[in-house]
Amino acid sequence: MKQILQNLRDGSTELAEVPAPGGGPGQLLIRTTRSLVSAGTERKLVEFGRANLIGKARQQPERVRQVVEKARTDGAAATLEAVRSKLGQPLALGYCNVGTVAEVGGGIKGLAPGDRVASNGKHAEVVAVPANLCAKIPDGVRDEEAAFTVVAAIGLQGIRLASPTLGERVVVFGLGLIGLLTVQMLRAQGCCVLGVDFDETRLRLARDFGADVANPAAGEDPLAAAAVFSGGVGVDAVLITASTKSSKPVSQAAQMCRKRGRIVLIGVTGLELNRADFYEKELTFQVSCSYGPGRYDPDYEIGGHDYPIGFVRWTEQRNFEAVLELMRSGALNVTPLISHRYALERAEEAFELLTSDTPSLGILLEFTPGKEPQDLGARSLALSDAPPSPGAARVAFLGAGNYAGRLLIPAFKAAGVDLRTVVSAGGVSAAHFARKHGAANAASDAAIVLGDADVDTIVIATRHNLHAAQVLSALRAGKHVFCEKPLCLTLEELSEIEAEAHGRSAQHLMVGFNRRFAPQVVKIKALLETVDEPKSFVMTVNAGAAPPDHWTQNKAVGGGRIIGEGCHFVDLLRHLAGAPFTGHSVVALGRHAALGASDDKVSITLQFADGSVGVIHYLANGHRGFPKERLEIFCAGRVLQLDNFRRLRGWGWPDFSRMNLWRQDKGAQACVGAFVNAVRSGAKTPLPLRELIEVSRVTIEAAQSLEPGSA
């Protein structure tokens, strides 16, 4: 299928061929008929992409701080490579989609194949959208009208926050698409409206919708206009829908408001506020969040958990429905806002228009009619007709996220594999990395590669909750398996995998515990083998805080940070001790309101059969300036210290004092190389199955012991 993608490195827009997405529980598969280009948001993305690195840095200073911190710990070269990789990944554009439902995922009620829906889907022929981000289009509303649903909901949410009442006088700063929609919805609510903008065409539209207007470009003073408009008492509320770096709209909004007036920022402005303007009038200032309650809440948007209507009357989905009802009743007229129409095949022209001098407002993309809604396009895309390479490991990737695309796929290519297929659920990242790394195919359905006789090895780099099922499916399909950590999330899953793997001795099963393959760890292992007595290991992981709503923190999806990342360090100490575990215990930092979750601030003690003891301090409450990963080993009157896999120092070791690297090397490439060599040569799996199972079990048990009520 065709989809519009943007390259953030140079701002170019492309109508690309990608695999059609797959649906799932709680999702609708929709064949698109219309989509609307958001002049504000998408113009900013194009302009950001066209800026050079310095220009990009100026636009996102918070990202610059993250880059600097990463460079301090990982090194400049690795950081620059990561930044370039991120900017090189395509961005799927669009969030104002209209189409016909083709498939309905499990658990969805009230929608059926054939229904017309508005959603925040992308500019693509087929989109997969969670049900709570869709709304059924009523009869009497045309598809091209419904394409304005999402942008109108942004304005509607700002109105709801301002809580205007019948007869109140409201100013709308900025009469772009959202501003003009907001004017109409305020008028439908019985408010008197004053629109402020520099564009005479937009001001004329606002007049047609029943608003008074003021044009600063023509010398009209918005403050004076607001004073006349309000009869000298000040306006009741101001909604700012403009996009500017200036703080002037906020300052003027405060000056034109009456006492206890309300200001809601829907657009983007500078926020250098004058306290006196707000203090003397006791003004309320609030920033509106997109379409309404539920936005950016994964439980609502992805999990499908609706908020009870008795407690949250207007969610983002119910705002969509309210907008569509306004269109049906005639209270919201979007037809005058359509300035341009383009067939999908001319999409690149539409995006060129955004940054040209030609005035535009609502830019509609029209998708090819006549296809059956059930025709969802191919889930696989052939990029090369090259036959499988004889003698090489023939590899398919499940998952094409940043880590897979930047590190894992290049590592497998460097090991000499025949990269057959890259799979991602949405298809976009699969197509990007498949093209970038020379894969024969891109796909959006894992079943395609599981049944492909040309594939003998599956690399699993999906989200953690999918690992266990995909490992089992790949083993049962007769494939070798390399699973990016963790192997699974529960002891039940681990038992099933262990039983399956034990019965398939000819197949390799490995987890990407790469740190044991790092060059400095190889040196440490060699040094420790000269010491015949127990060792003390202290592993300090300055993990840094992760947002509580990040998927890795979700126990059902990511398993939490101990299972998701802490397993690396359990494996590293198991490898260096060279002896089985005989016991383990975990203690978490005491609960405190300032700390948030406590299960990523823990100390794990490990005991080994040879008498060695290891302690892993996995801490999310440290400072980023401190090394992210530090390993210290004490034994036989000697000490080793490894910082961030760049600097290794030794004290008391004959003929060894240091081993430093120019750039960080955590062993990812060596880990992959060892696995590929085993697949190709029939040698033993580099990470023995018994150790893999042992490490996974201890990590899961450690994480479970932190659960409330566990022993």
Give the per-residue SS3 of 605-620.
EEEECCCCEEEEEEEC
Residue 299 clears pLDDT 60, i.e. is over it: yes
pLDDT given at position 373? 54
Residue 340 clears pLDDT 80, i.e. is over it: yes
pLDDT given at position 40? 74
Task: Write the CATH number for 627.
Answer: 3.30.360.10
Residue 56 clears pLDDT 60, i.e. is over it: no
Domain that holds residue 193: 160-287
Cβ–Cβ < 8 Å for 457, 679: yes
Task: Write the CATH number for 84.
Answer: 3.90.180.10
Q: Are 142 and 172 part of one and the same domain?
A: no
pLDDT given at position 596? 62
pLDDT given at position 11? 77
pLDDT given at position 245? 87
Model confidence over 431-448: pLDDT tens digits? 999 999 999 999 999 999
pLDDT tier, 487 (very low <50, low <70, confident <90, very high otherwise):
very high
| pLDDT average, residue stretch 216-224 | 95
Which of 461, 491, 513 is the last residue in one of the domains? 513
Q: Are 601 and 471 part of one and the same domain?
A: no
pLDDT tier, 82 (very low <50, low <70, confident <90, very high otherwise):
low
Pairing type for strands 480-483 and 509-511 reads parallel
| pLDDT average, residue stretch 86-102 | 88
Which of 457, 485, 513 is the last residue in one of the domains? 513
Q: Are 458 and 600 part of one and the same domain?
A: no
Cβ–Cβ < 8 Å for 683, 537: no
Taking the CA of residue 711 as centre, how many other CA atoms within 13 Å lie in the half-sphere pointing to its CB? 0
Residue 80 clears pLDDT 90, i.e. is over it: no
Q: Are 353 and 493 part of one and the same domain?
A: no
In a domain, 318, yes or no: no
Residue 593 clears pLDDT 60, i.e. is over it: no
- pTM of the entire structure? 0.88
Lookup result for tokens 């004889």: 390
Which of 513, 548, 568 is the last residue in one of the domains? 513
Enumerate long-range contacts of 401-406, CB under 8 Å, 24 or more apart: 401/429, 401/461, 402/85, 402/86, 402/89, 403/461, 403/484, 404/433, 404/459, 404/461, 404/484, 405/85, 405/89, 405/429, 405/432, 405/433, 405/436, 406/81, 406/82, 406/85
In a domain, 673, yes or no: no
Q: Are 451 and 340 part of one and the same domain?
A: no
* Ranges 59-63, 106-110, 521-525, most confident: 521-525
Which amino acid, one-letter code, is at 532?
D
Q: Are 421 and 444 part of one and the same domain?
A: yes
Q: Are 73 and 133 part of one and the same domain?
A: yes
In a domain, 437, yes or no: yes
Quick one: what percent of the chain has pLDDT higher than 70? 92
- Distance from the first to the final alpha carbon of the chain: 53
**Total structural domains within the chain:** 4
In a domain, 183, yes or no: yes
What are the φ/ψ torsions at residue 461 (nearest 5 degrees)? -135, 40
Number of H helices, E strands in the chain: 25, 31
Which amino acid, one-letter code, is at 648?
L
Model confidence over 347-365: pLDDT tens digits? 999 998 988 888 899 999 9
Q: Are 269 and 391 part of one and the same domain?
A: no
Q: Are 501 and 548 part of one and the same domain?
A: no
| pLDDT average, residue stretch 289-295 | 93
In a domain, 625, yes or no: yes
pLDDT given at position 75? 62
Q: Are 506 and 611 part of one and the same domain?
A: no
Distance CA 293, CA 117 (A): 20
Q: Are 347 and 423 part of one and the same domain?
A: no
| pLDDT average, residue stretch 12-23 | 91
In a domain, 299, yes or no: no
pLDDT given at position 274? 86
| pLDDT average, residue stretch 476-505 | 96
In a domain, 408, yes or no: yes
Strand partners, 411: none
In a domain, 320, yes or no: no
Model confidence over 600-617: pLDDT tens digits? 899 999 999 999 999 999
Task: Write the CATH number for 269.
Answer: 3.40.50.720
pLDDT given at position 298? 87
Distance CA 90, CA 8 (A): 7
Q: Are 656 and 641 part of one and the same domain?
A: yes
pLDDT given at position 37? 93
Least confident interval from 35-44, 47-56, 114-123, 554-563:
47-56
